Structure 1
Amino acid sequence: METIQREMTVFARRARASAGRMHPELSLVSYTLLGHLEERGGCRATDLAAHYALDKSTVSRQVAALERTGLIERLLDPEDHRVQVLQLTDAGRQLLLQVTDSRRAAFKERLADWPEEDLRRFADYLTRYNGWTPPAAG
C-alpha cells in the first residue's frame, strides 16, 4: 500500500507540473473543467462542483478566472431562464484542443515502449480506481 500511495502522490505532482508546461495560465483543475464543459456541451457551476466533489467556492473561483480570460461564458438555460449554463467560447475550445493534443503527445512519448497489453491493463486499472465511489454517509 505504501508504494501505491507514494506513486499516486508522485503521479499527482507530475500531473500538476505538466499542466503548467502545457499552458502556463491553465491549471490542471481548469483544464479538467474545460474538458468537462466540452464533453457535456455546457453545464451549471453546481454540476461541476458535484461531479468533481469540489467545494462550490473553488469552482466559483476557477469559473471566474476562466470567464475573465475569455475561455468560457455564461448563458441562460433555454429551459429555465433563472439558471446560468457555462459553455466554452471558441477561444476555450481552441485552447482545450491545443492542450489536449500536447498532453496526448506527452503521454504517447512517455508510454511509447510499453507493450499494448500493459497499456490496456494500465487503462483498466486507472478506470477501475477512478470509478470507485465512497459509500453514502449515514
Structure 2
Amino acid sequence: MTTLLQGGGLLDDLQHQVAVFARRAEQTRLGGVGQVRNSMDRAAYLLLNRLDVEGPMGVKALAAGMGIDSSTVTRQVAPLVDTGLVKRTSHPDDGRAVVLELSQRGQARLDEVRSSRRELMALLTEGWTQEERESFCTLLTRFNGALSERQSAGQPPSGAGPGEPESEATAS
C-alpha cells in the first residue's frame, strides 16, 4: 500500500480510510440498489436484524446485545412499532414484561433490504475474487470486534463522547 497522506504512515492511512468509509457509508447509508436504496436507516436495520437472528427479546436484552442503553433502544424501536415492523407482546413467563418481536411485515421488509444490500455489495466488489471478499469480511469483522471490545471496556473510540456509543447500532 502506498502512503496516501504525505508524511503519514500506515496507521495514518488506515485511520484516514476508515474516516472516508464512515462518511461515505453515512452518505449512502449503504442502503442497496433499486427502490429499496436508502429506505431503512441503519439503527432500524440493525434492530430488525438482531430480532430476526436472536428472536423475540426485551428492551434490556436488546440494548445489551447491541452495546447501547435501553432508552436508545426504546426511542429507536418506537417508530418500528408504529409502522408495524416490530410488535410488542407479553413475555411468555412473565405477562407483565414486554417482549419485542419482528412482525411478518418487518420480516418481509428486512428480507427486501437485505437483498438490496447484498446486490450493492456484489456490485461494489464485482472485480474482487471470492478470496478477497472473504478476507475483507474477515478483517472488517475483526476490526468491528475490536471496536466493540474497546467500547465494552468503557473506552469509546476516538471521537466518540460518552453519550455517543460507536456500536453496531450506530455503524452502517
- Secondary structure at 2:97's aligned position in 1? strand
Letter in 2 for 1:13: R
How does the TM-score come out when normalised to structure 2?
Answer: 0.71
Q: Deviations over 1:81-110 (max 9, x none)?
A: 222110111111111000000000000010
Letter in 1 for 2:86: I
Distance in structure 1 (CA, Å) of the matches to 2:48 and 2:145: 20
Q: Which residue of 2 aligns with 1:18?
A: 28
Please name the residue that 2:109 is paired with.
Answer: 95
Question: Percent identity at matched positions?
Answer: 36
* Residue equivalent to 1:65: 79
Q: Distance in 2 between matches of 1:48 and 1:10?
A: 30
The higher-RCO structure (CA 8 Å, 6+ apart) is 2
Matched position secondary structure for 2:96: strand
1:115 is matched with 129
Q: For 1:16-95, what aligned pairs fall within 5 Å after superposition?
A: 16-19=26-29, 22=36, 24=38, 26-95=40-109
Deviation (angstroms), 1:43: 1.3
Q: Normalised by the size of structure 1, how large is the TM-score?
A: 0.87
Measure the CA separation in 1 of the matches of 2:56 and 2:26.
24
The corresponding residue for 2:145 is 131
Instruction: Flag the structure with higher strand content.
Output: 1
Q: Which runs of 5+ in 2 are unaligned?
A: 1-10, 155-172
- The question of whether the paired residues in 2 share the 8 Å contact of 1:31 and 1:96 is answered with yes
Contact kept? 1:70, 1:92, Cα under 8 Å: yes
- Match of 1:42, SS state, is coil
What's the Cα RMSD here? 1.9
- Give the direction of change, closer, same or farther, for the CA distance of 1:43–1:16 in structure 2 (3 Å limit): farther
2:62 alignment partner AA:
L
Residue 23 of structure 1 deviates from its aligned partner by 5.1
8 Å CA contact retained: 2:84, 2:105: yes
